[in-house]
Amino acid sequence: MTKWNKELFVKDLRNSCSREIAKIGEKIIDFSEDFATEVSWGRGDEHGTFTFRCDSDFGTLPLFHMTSDGQLNLQINFLREKDLPKQVLRDMVVKLEANFLRDYDDESYPSDSYENMEYLFHTYTQVDKFLGTVEGVVYRLKQ
């Protein structure tokens, strides 16, 4: 049974993070409610978790996780294991690399890990580009 919901998650996010990161987190949650097939809330005691999932030919896949203490986990390596069409994964990786100015290849990003959103997002344009990337992946997975 889930312990967290949107209201509790946002409240904890506002208490745990800077005002800017909390606003970004809320924007990601609002976007997710519109574009995700399924939004799930965690059961943890220390902080809340939130997962964005979308339908595909491979079942319902998580694209990212977010925590109420301001961390984001991109599920790039998990998606690599699912043998998604190469163009979908490549498009996602190229756009994320350009947006966050870091490498997400097998060598530089060997495992999916939580990263502080304050180090990922420096401008609201980066947030919009991230959400645009996720929207594109959702659209392509449903084709």
Each residue's pLDDT tens digit, 12-22:
999 999 999 99
Evaluate whether 75 touches 93 at the Cβ level (below 8 Å).
Answer: no
pLDDT of residue 1: 57
Residue type, 14: R
Evaluate whether 43 touches 81 at the Cβ level (below 8 Å).
Answer: no
Mean pLDDT (the chain) is 94
pLDDT of residue 44: 87
**Residue 12 counted as domain residue:** yes
**Residue 116 counted as domain residue:** yes
Domain that residue 134 falls in? 6-141
**Residue 71 counted as domain residue:** yes
**Residue 132 counted as domain residue:** yes
91 sits in which H/E element: helix 86-100
Q: What is the spatial distance between Cα 69 and Cα 35, in angstroms, rounded to a whole number?
A: 23
Over residues 46-63, the pLDDT tens digits come to: 899 999 999 998 899 999
- Give which of 107, 109, 110, 22 is closest to 66, Cα–Cα: 22
More confident residue, 85 or 99: 99
**Residue 62 counted as domain residue:** yes
Q: Which of 49-53, 85-89, 135-139 has the lowest mean pLDDT?
A: 85-89
Q: Is the pLDDT of residue 91 over 70?
A: yes
Evaluate whether 133 touches 98 at the Cβ level (below 8 Å).
Answer: no
pLDDT of residue 131: 98
**Residue 133 counted as domain residue:** yes
**Residue 135 counted as domain residue:** yes
Range 99-116 average pLDDT: 93
Q: What is the pTM of this model?
A: 0.93
**Residue 1 counted as domain residue:** no
Over residues 35-45, the pLDDT tens digits come to: 999 999 999 88
Task: Count the domains in the chain.
Answer: 1
Q: Is the pLDDT of residue 83 over 90?
A: no
